[in-house]
């Protein structure tokens, strides 16, 4: 089957877990014999006059990376304009697949969109090639903001997500909770939907059992520094944990908009000397921190993916996670890790204390987590299930769409001092 994947992230352009997801899925599909073209973008700051759209082969996948249009919009300040400009460049690149030297007349059997930022090019190209449109909904604007999309840009993003979901011929989500969320937000006239879990390349994450702890406990968070990731809850819990386990430290790996606020929060809770912000780590550095930590703490309030939990499990890091979204699928409480309810600081504290008090049980759960990955989260299984969706998807008859409903409700759990 000929597959055209459209994604705003693809290595070397990686913002979060989506880029890695698309890369693994594309290369696994190519290894299974499918013809895969990934339509993505060049790094920010490129220009078609000096950095034209390029095509190269990556592990059997033809990657077509579009350069930005000359008007240089900034994603942080001009997100809507930036996204539309990126989509315009991607449409031109997608149409060029028929030209000699790029795609040499290649045309897809299916278009697979990943997230709302590529809704415009994906919908346009599926219509142009007259093939089914499959969309993976990786997250929602409403979910990222606890159900509140009252801001102007929030409503724009939600509307585009709603449009992509209803314009698609088949939908994929990565967790059961995400499937429920998509149905609630974008229904009732949605296309068929399939839940396919994220995969993990276990070979890239060397498993190492924990050494007996000889000093203060070391906790680790890995991920984007955004409000929905719940890092503020881990910082708030740290003083309580240190009362029963003196000297415990928290290392925070990642980048994001909430770094200044989180630094201030650490000072507010008087643990700034016990919290280290590591910034973005490369693979070798991350593996070293996973091997050297007593536990990885993932306190997300909203988590459609949960891929970091899989990577930590593959490396042997004991897991303490919230039950939000994909984490609820990735971790079995008491079997492969310890869980707590999102935003429950007391529950987080209790789970970390239980893990630190019984290292043998923590090691047993870590081993069970690693063994579970080889059974249920293999990328070849993910690719096979996705290929079946491609075969099942048929282009639907299009009907006029109504205006999307905008979900609005209060946010009782949001800290009023948080700038977002």
Residue 50: its pLDDT value, please? 57
* Claim to verify: residue 189 and residue 268 sit in the same structural domain: no
* Claim to verify: residue 170 and residue 239 sit in the same structural domain: no
User: Does 214 score more than 90 pLDDT?
Assistant: no
Place of tokens 């939907």: 193
Q: Is the separation of the CB atoms in 44 and 78 below 8 Å?
A: no
Q: What is the DSSP letter of 202?
A: G
Q: Is residue 404 part of a domain?
A: no
What values do phi and psi take at 249, rounded to 5?
-120, 160
User: Does 91 score more than 50 pLDDT?
Assistant: yes
| Residue 217: domain span | 202-376
* Claim to verify: residue 189 and residue 207 sit in the same structural domain: no
Place of tokens 């990934």: 38
pLDDT tens digits for range 151-170 = 888 889 999 999 999 999 99
Assign 305 a pLDDT band (cuts: 50, 70, 90).
Answer: confident
* Claim to verify: residue 230 and residue 190 sit in the same structural domain: no
* Claim to verify: residue 314 and residue 187 sit in the same structural domain: no
Sheet holding 319-322, edge to edge: 275-279, 249-253, 218-222, 295-298, 319-322, 338-340
Q: Kindly state the tokens that stand for 240.
A: 């309580």
* Claim to verify: residue 148 and residue 12 sit in the same structural domain: yes
DSSP-based three-state secondary structure for 143: helix
Closest CA relative to residue 337, chosen from 301, 363, 308: 363
Residue 411: its pLDDT value, please? 43
Assign 313 a pLDDT band (cuts: 50, 70, 90).
Answer: very high
* Claim to verify: residue 109 and residue 19 sit in the same structural domain: yes
pLDDT tens digits for range 272-294 = 999 999 999 999 999 999 999 99
* Claim to verify: residue 178 and residue 291 sit in the same structural domain: no
Residue 326: its pLDDT value, please? 84
């Amino acid at each position: 089957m000929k597959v055209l994947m459209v994604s705003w992230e693809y290595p070397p352009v990686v913002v979060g877990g989506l880029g890695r997801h698309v890369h693994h899925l594309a290369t696994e599909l190519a290894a299974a014999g499918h013809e895969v073209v990934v339509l993505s973008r060049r790094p920010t700051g490129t220009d078609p006059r000096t950095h034209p759209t390029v095509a190269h082969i990556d592990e059997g996948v033809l990657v077509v990376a579009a350069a930005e249009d000359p008007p240089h919009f900034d994603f942080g300040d001009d997100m809507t304009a930036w996204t539309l400009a990126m989509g315009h460049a991607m449409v031109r690149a997608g149409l060029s697949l028929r030209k000699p030297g790029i795609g040499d007349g290649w045309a897809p059997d299916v278009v697979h969109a990943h997230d709302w930022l590529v809704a415009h090019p994906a919908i346009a190209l599926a219509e142009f090639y007259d093939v089914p449109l499959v969309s993976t909904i990786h997250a929602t604007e409403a979910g990222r903001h606890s159900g509140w999309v009252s801001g102007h840009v929030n409503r724009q993003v939600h509307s585009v997500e709603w449009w992509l979901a209803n314009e698609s011929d088949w939908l994929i989500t990565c967790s059961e909770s995400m499937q429920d969320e998509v149905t609630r937000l974008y229904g009732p006239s949605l296309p068929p939907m399939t839940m396919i879990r994220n995969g993990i390349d276990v070979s890239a994450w060397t498993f190492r059992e924990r050494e007996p702890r000889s000093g203060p406990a070391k906790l680790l968070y890995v991920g984007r520094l955004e409000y929905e990731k719940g890092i503020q809850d881990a910082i708030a819990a740290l003083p309580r944990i240190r009362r029963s386990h003196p000297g415990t430290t928290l290392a925070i790996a990642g980048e994001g908009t909430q770094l200044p606020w989180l630094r201030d929060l650490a000072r507010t809770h008087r643990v700034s000397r016990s919290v280290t912000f590591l910034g973005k780590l490369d693979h070798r550095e991350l593996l070293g921190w996973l091997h050297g930590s007593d536990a990885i703490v993932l306190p997300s309030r909203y988590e459609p993916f949960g891929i970091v939990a899989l990577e930590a499990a593959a490396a042997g890091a004991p897991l303490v996670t919230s039950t939000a979204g994909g984490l609820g699928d990735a971790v079995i409480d008491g079997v492969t890790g310890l869980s707590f309810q999102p935003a429950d600081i007391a529950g987080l504290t209790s789970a970390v204390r239980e893990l630190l008090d019984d290292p043998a049980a923590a090691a047993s759960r870590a081993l069970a987590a690693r063994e579970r990955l080889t059974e249920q989260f293999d990328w070849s299984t993910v690719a096979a299930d996705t290929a079946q969706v491609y075969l099942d998807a048929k282009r639907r008859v299009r009907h006029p769409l109504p205006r999307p409903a905008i979900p609005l409700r209060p946010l009782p759990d949001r800290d009023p001092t948080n700038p977002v």
